[in-house]
Every structure is written in structure tokens, then in C-alpha cells.
Chain A
């Protein structure tokens, strides 16, 4: 059992969520409520990682992160270290690869909040921020919870993009999914089996957690 790889995967999942969730909340809400030119283009771009083979996405990210690219150069200039084959590079790649898994459920969650209710909030004297916190977020919660679970689970299991962008550096970029692959390559079926079972258990736990959480939120009185 490669505990370091598991810890790295969980850290990658949490770091991805920390970056992606605020972005997805903002972007999903804008896409759900605003009509503006270029909206469908943005939606298509967000959905692209769904249909692109992970290795292809990984390849372009690798090129984009490289020392020859403006982003890679800028990053290296600021942090003194390249993006490719680093944990930070993995987080950025993971954020991009997970865009559709986070943004689409969040957008659907916000879109499910009837416009009347948002208007009723405003007419009840709630500021736009209060409408967001007290009306929109509680009602869009199932979509947001889905986004969190999907993003986290997908990050734990992501293989192609991680391998392309991060390689398999122990403690830096070797995630549990890659460790499983390495173990299978080394005919270590037992270790691969244990790690797969851990991933399965984590996935089930995450699903159960969101399920019960959204039920509890559904029951509670939002009158505090």
C-alpha cells in the first residue's frame, strides 16, 4: 500500500476543489442566469475535457506548461520552478480537466432555482449577496454537492492527464491511480488490489456523505 500516493491524491483532490469550487460557483451562476454573447462558446470550451482523450488534453497542457510557453516561463520566473512535472502543475491540470465536472452541476443547480424566488428575495429586502447566501446556495445545494463529489472522485481517479503532465515522481506527482498502474505493471496484484479497494471505499464514502448532507440540508429550517 502506497500511503504517500494516497495522501498525494487526497491533497490533489482538496487543492483542486479549493481552486475550482469558487471558480465553478461563479462561472456556473453566470452561465445559469446571464445571457451574453459568447456564452455558448464558453460552455463548449468548458465541456471540451469531457470529450477530449485525457492523453490529448494532457499533451496540450504539457506543451502549455513547458519552459517554451509563456505560461511556463512566467511561472518559472515567479516561482523559480517549472510547472510541468510538479504538484502545482498537477493542480492546474486537474482544475482544467475537472471544469465540466464542477461547472455543469453547479450551473444546473443554480438554473433550478426559479427566478421568482430570487426576485422574491430581492423584494423582501435581501441584498444580492443575501439572496445568494440565503436563497440561491441552499436551493442550488444538490448541484454544488454533486460538483464537489464528482470533482474529488474524478481527481482521485484521473490517470491520463496526470501521467502526461506529472509523470510518476514519488511524493510529488505519483497519485494513487498511477501507483495502482505501477503495481500492476510490477505484477504486485495484492498492493494494486488493496489500493483499488481503498479508492472504491473512498468513492462510496464521498457519495454517501453528499447524499446524507443534502438530505439534512433539505430538512433543516433555513430561518436562522
Chain B
């Protein structure tokens, strides 16, 4: 009954914020909800916790239906076993750390609560600080109390709303590592709302990309970065080297799809679902753009060779970031990076011509969204 143990969410709403999203999270899985601010990430969490009501949809967790608009089911927050860590933690200021945790233990016999709260606080590395008020704790310690309080009610799902956004960088790293360790002992789904893609890459098993309340794609973070479902996803992920082309054909034998890019014909990774003649967006990670060495041409240069002219060369530490004008019909430059010494050795400079290869296997073609 793996399905019944997890979380299943389907939400639709027009107002006050548009929502159109569906996802599942399995026991022990960490699912990140990623998107720009205002995308509706926190609203989704609030819907699951019962603090916000979507117009339509269904939320089921651990075999219980928490919300079903069609059947008129809408459990109040205190009847849903959801542990929520608020962005600003929302600790009860008049209670000690221990009191905050014990407040969420209403389901346990009163005699057990103090010991259980102490055990939980020790688990989040707060032993010895049980009697402190939130105001007497640092930001990182407050966050740990909030996590302990969310776990205190033995939740069927753990909801984290930007839990690392209010602390400094060093504390954030430490808390992220603690969460990664903590989740190993948790058999419930964890939902992490974040606008930080790196955080999702670091912690999440899968992520849902949200934009204006719509779930655009659900995939493991690395896979979404390599193979975004659409140009919109690629833009939201801040991926560079996004171009337009037309499908010229499929070379099934070699596992390639041919793209007509302006005047060029380039080979891309096989994308058999794209019909011939269709207009598509395609993407190549900067790491898959290889500079041709002037002194020693190699065999790899036959793979999608592209001539261009350097229009920008930025030195960032030991790295050079280069933008090439490659005559893209939309005027978009091709960006790539290389070690600074390699840029020097090849005499790269603004205004100079150079040639690169685009690794076909890394070229990802996507269907163009209907506007």
C-alpha cells in the first residue's frame, strides 16, 4: 500500500490565487516546490495544512482524505496530521522551546510529553536549551525548534515553507545538512518550498516547478535542468543557450534528431516525439559547448561545428565566460565557459572569430508551447 502511505495533491482555483497543480510524494521522499516568488508555492503548502481552501481538488495523505471539494470534505488543520514549518517559524513567544514542542503533542498522554519533547529537541541538536524562550534563541536555533514542533505531532507529511531563508549562509548550510540527516529517519513525505534552485538540487529527490500557480514540470532536479519540458521551464530555471529551430528529420539509426537552425543543420539528441517540420525550442548546456583549439584540431570538431565571433568575454576568477554571436535568427548569443588559461592560449578576445562544437547528445529539443 505504498500509494496510501504517501501524499496525493490535486488543486485547482481561480481566486484569490490561480492554482492548477497535481503531484504525489512517496513516503520518505523529499519533493521540492520550486518557482519564483508569487508562484503559489506557499499557497499549495497552506492548502495541504488546511489553512487555505482551494476551489476544487483533492488532498489525500496516509490513506486519509483531507480535502475533496467534490465530496465536500475539508478537514480543519488540527485534524490533519501535517507538520508545518513556517517561513518565519511562528514559534509561540510565551512558551519555552520545550513548551512549543509539547504544545503540538496533544495526541500523547500528558505524562509522556516532556520526555518526548526533550528527545525531539535533542534530535535537532538543542539539548540544554529546552527552557529558553524563542526570543533567547538564535535564528538557526529557532528554526530547529520549529522543525521539532512540526515533528512533535507525529505528522503524516512534513511541510517546510522556505525554512532556510531567514538565516545567514553558514547557518543555512548547516541546517540543510541537518535536514538531509534528519530525513533519513523519517518515513513520511517531505515537501520543501524554496525559490533556491541550488537548495532543491542539494536536498530534493524530485521537484515541481511552479509558475503562476501552475505546475509546469515534475522531475528529479538534475533531470529537469538537463531536459526541461519547455522553453518556459528553461527560462524559469535560468538556463542559457535557448534557441529556436525546426525539426528537419530523425536519424533513427544514429539516434539523432536533425534541427534546422537558421541556415545550419545541426544534430541533436533523439527526440522522436517531435514531428518533422515542427517548430521547436532547443537548449545546450554551456558545458557542452567545446572550443576548437587553433593549434591542434581534433576529431570532435566534426560534431555540430559552429563559427562565431566573440562579443563578450568576462573573467570571473579562474574562469572565462564567453558569448559568441553565431548568427542566430533571433539574435541570441551562444554562451559557454572555459578555464582562463585556455581562453588565453587560444587568443580569445572580443571581436575575434572562433569556432566551437555543440555536443549533439547534450542538445535537448522541446516542443514549442502553443501561445
Give A contacts to B, CB under 8 Å: 114, 116-117, 119-128, 130, 134-135, 138-139, 217-218, 221-223
CA distance A51 to B198 in the complex (A): 60
Check B94 against A123 for contact (C-beta < 8 Å): no
CA distance A119 to B82 in the complex (A): 12
Interface string of B80-101 (1 = CB under 8 A from A): 0111101010111111101110
Check B99 against A120 for contact (C-beta < 8 Å): no
- Complex interface: chain B residues within 8 A of A221 (CB): 95-96, 99, 131
8 nearest CB pairs, A to B: A223-B99, A124-B104, A122-B77, A120-B90, A116-B90, A222-B95, A123-B84, A222-B94
Using a CB-CB cutoff of 8 Å, which residues 47-87 of chain B contact chain A? 49-51, 76-78, 81-84, 86
Q: Is the interface of A mostly helix, strand, loop or mixed?
A: helix
Chain A proximity of B182: nearest CB distance (Å): 19
Check A120 against B106 for contact (C-beta < 8 Å): no
Q: Choose among A117, A126, A134 the residue that contacts B78 (Cβ–Cβ < 8 A).
A: A126
Give B contacts to A, CB under 8 Å: 49-51, 76-78, 81-84, 86, 88, 90-96, 98-100, 102-104, 106-107, 131, 149-150, 152-153
- Complex interface: chain B residues within 8 A of A127 (CB): 78
Check A117 against B99 for contact (C-beta < 8 Å): no
Q: Is the interface of B mostly helix, strand, loop or mixed?
A: loop
Check B106 against A139 for contact (C-beta < 8 Å): no
- Complex interface: chain B residues within 8 A of A116 (CB): 86, 88, 90
CA distance A126 to B92 in the complex (A): 13
- Complex interface: chain A residues within 8 A of B81 (CB): 125
- Complex interface: chain B residues within 8 A of A222 (CB): 92, 94-95, 99
- Complex interface: chain B residues within 8 A of A119 (CB): 49, 51, 77, 86, 90
Residue from the set B51, B94, B150 with the largest chain A CB neighbour count within 10 Å:
B94
Check A125 against B78 for contact (C-beta < 8 Å): yes
Check B103 against A124 for contact (C-beta < 8 Å): yes
Check B99 against A126 for contact (C-beta < 8 Å): no
CA distance A124 to B78 in the complex (A): 7
Give B77's nearest chain A residue, CB to CB.
Answer: A122
- Complex interface: chain A residues within 8 A of B100 (CB): 223
- Complex interface: chain B residues within 8 A of A124 (CB): 78, 103-104, 106, 149, 152-153
Q: Choose among A114, A126, A138 the residue that contacts B106 (Cβ–Cβ < 8 A).
A: A126
- Complex interface: chain A residues within 8 A of B104 (CB): 124-126
Chain A proximity of B43: nearest CB distance (Å): 13
Q: Choose among A114, A138, A223 the residue that contacts B90 (Cβ–Cβ < 8 A).
A: A114
